[in-house]
Structure 1
Amino acid sequence: MPLRPTRPSNRALPLATACLAGAALLGGCGVPPELQPKPGGTVPQPSVSPSAVTLPPSFSLPPSAPPSSPGPFPELTVTDCQGRPGGDQIIAAVRRKSSILPGSGTVTVTRPPVCAGTWQYTVLTVPGREPLQVVTKGVPTSLDLVTAGTDICTVEVRNFAPPGIRITAGC
C-alpha cells in the first residue's frame, strides 16, 4: 500500500484562513484619531509629590494594643493548644458526655490536644483498647464533645470542623 502525503483536513483550511484574515485586520489597528495628541496641545503630566490621604471623621484605625485574651487558633493548620485545654480537660469532657471511657482506670493522653479555630483533636489510650481519637470544640472551661472513637469522620466533622482538624484526623 503506497503512502500518501498528508493533507490538512477540510475543516482546518477554512479555520486557518479565518485566523490569518482576523490577524491581518487587527494588525492594522492603531490609536483612533480622536485620541491622538493635537498639534500644539500639552499632555498632562503626573504630579511629582503625592498628596496625603485623610480619612473621613467617621473612620478611625483600630487600636494597636494586643487583645487582652488570646483568640481562637488558626483554622488551616493545627497548633499545640498550649495547655488550653489540657489532656485532663479532654478526658473529663469525654467522661461527662459519653460512656466510651471507663469511669475509673488509667487513661493516657497519647497525643496532646492540638487546636484549629475553636476545635481540638486529641488521641487517648485505654489499656486493652485501640487508641481513641477525640474531637471537641469550644472554650477549655466548657468543652463540647463532637465525637470520640476509632472512626471520627462523622458528618459534623467532615462538614463543620476547620481544615486543620479534618486533615489531622484523616477525614
Structure 2
Amino acid sequence: MTDPLVDGSSARELIAALVERGQTVAVSESLTAGLLGAALAGVPGASAALRGGVIVYATDLKATFGGVNPQTLAADGPVAASTAGQLALAVARNADADWGVSLTGVAGPDSQDGHAPGTVFCGVARRRVISDEISTHAWQLSGDRWEIRLTSAKRAIQELLTAIRAHA
C-alpha cells in the first residue's frame, strides 16, 4: 500500500534536508489530528529529525498542551494565524526542536466560529538564540474532510521545506 503523504511528496525531501543540516522538527496539529506527524514518521530515517508532536484538537488543549496564550484564543479564536504561530513556536520549544510546524483550521463539513470549511492556518517557527522567527500561512482549501486534511499536511510539509531552504 502506498502512503499518499510520503510517496510522491515532499516529506522525503523535508526529512533529508533536516538530517543534512543536523536539525529537528516537532509538530502541533489540530484539524489534521496527527496526519502531518505520521507523514513525517513514514519516511525511513525520520527518527534523526522528527522529535515528536501534539494533537490539540479541542480548543482548550491549544492552551494547555499547545502553549497558546488563553488571551489569544479568547480574542482571535482557535482558527487564526496568531494561534497557528503560537502553536508552532511552543511545540518547537517544548520538544527542544529547531523547527515547529502547526496546523489549525476547519475540515468541515460545517463552519466553525464563523470560518468556512477549508479555512486553514499553518505556523512555521524557527528557534534562534537571539530571536525566534515565526511565519504563518493562510489557505482556503476545497474538498471533503479528507481532502482538506490531506492537502493541509502536504502544504505544511512544503512550507517547512521552503523555510529550511531559505535559511541554508
Q: Report the structure number with the largest CA radius of gyration.
A: 1
Structure having greater relative contact order (Cα 8 Å, sep ≥ 6): 2
1 or 2, which has the higher helix percentage? 2
Relative to the length of structure 2, the TM-score reads: 0.29
